[in-house]
Amino acid sequence: MTYEKKNIGYMSFLVVLFLVSISQGWGDITQYPNENITVIDSTPDLGASYVVGNALDGNLATEYVTTNTVPGIDTFVTFDLGAVVPVGGFKFYNRNDLELVTEFGLLLYNDPNDPNEIIENVTVPAEAGSSAYVEFAPFDARYIKWYVTGYQGHPSGPFDVPGAAEFEVYVDGDVNLVNISPDSALLLSPQVWTPKQYKAWIYVTKQSAHQLQ
């Protein structure tokens, strides 16, 4: 192969990559800080050692475990992200036990009556401590409902208490969200942001981060 042919091939590759990146709207997927996530509804927990907050503390050793008075298949958690953000990914970690979630779905929305996004049939390996990550086209949402659609009980007893070791929410964007405080006036604002407002916030945040360096 001549130098020219190699060069043309390389350039073609770059052009294709560029076109694909435009069509896909690629951006960096960043974990949304747990500090900005509030649980507004969930299946009741099994007790003080198993509260739902345990699944948002960044520690796989602490777990949210559901009450045994509700069937495991009915397990759900609804999160408030504090603002409308372009949600693009979600990760779930099973309990390190044999009460296992084997499949779940997600409902992303701003108002239950508004158009929403449904992500279904996310499979999770039927193993203690397993995890499943799903990435999807970014959808502007403030609320996420995670709900179990597949469940495998403990083989040696009818405990029926699934849950989660950890949840992680991912957003599309290259802004560093980690240092955004939950006490921020921006996030406490009762308004529901439009995508344009959110982009403006990203711009301001980037400028602030740059000035701090």
> Applying CB under 5 A, which residues contact Ca ion?
54, 57, 59, 62, 166
Yes or no: say if 123 and 102 are a contact pair by the CB < 8 Å rule: yes
User: Backbone phi, then psi, for 196, in 5-degree steps?
Assistant: -65, -45
- Cα→Cα distances 169→37, 45, 46, 193, 207, Å: 9, 21, 24, 18, 24
Please report how close the Cβ of residue 185 comes to Ca ion at its closest, in angstroms: 29
**Which DSSP category does 47 fall into?**
S
Query: What would you report as the CA-atom Rg of the chain, rounded to the nearest whole angstrom?
Result: 20
Query: Smallest gap, in angstroms, from Cβ of residue 121 to Ca ion?
Result: 25
Q: Which is nearer to Ca ion, 59 or 181 (CB)?
A: 59
C-beta closer to Ca ion: residue 57 or 117 = 57
Nearer to Ca ion, 99 or 166 (CB): 166
Give the amino acid at 105. Answer: G
Terminal-to-terminal C-alpha distance of the chain: 47
The whole-angstrom separation of Cα 180 and Cα 101 is 32
Q: Looking at beta carbons only, is 31 or 62 nearer to Ca ion?
A: 62
Least Cβ distance, residue 23 to Ca ion (angstroms): 37
Closer CB to Ca ion, residue 166 or residue 168?
A: 166
Separation between Cα atoms, residue 206 and residue 204, nearest integer Å:
5
Distance, CA of 51 to CA of 63 (rounded, Å): 8
User: Which residue's Cβ has the minimum distance to Ca ion?
Assistant: 62
Give me the least distance between CB of 163 and Ca ion, in Å please. 10
Nearest to 89 by CA among 68, 108, 62, 113: 108
For the bound state, the minimum distance from the C-beta of residue 141 to Ca ion, rounded and expressed in Å, comes to 23
Q: Which helix (H) or strand (E) holds 200?
A: helix 195-212
| Beta carbon of residue 62, minimum distance to Ca ion (angstroms, whole number) | 4
- For Ca ion, which is the closer residue by CB, 62 or 116? 62
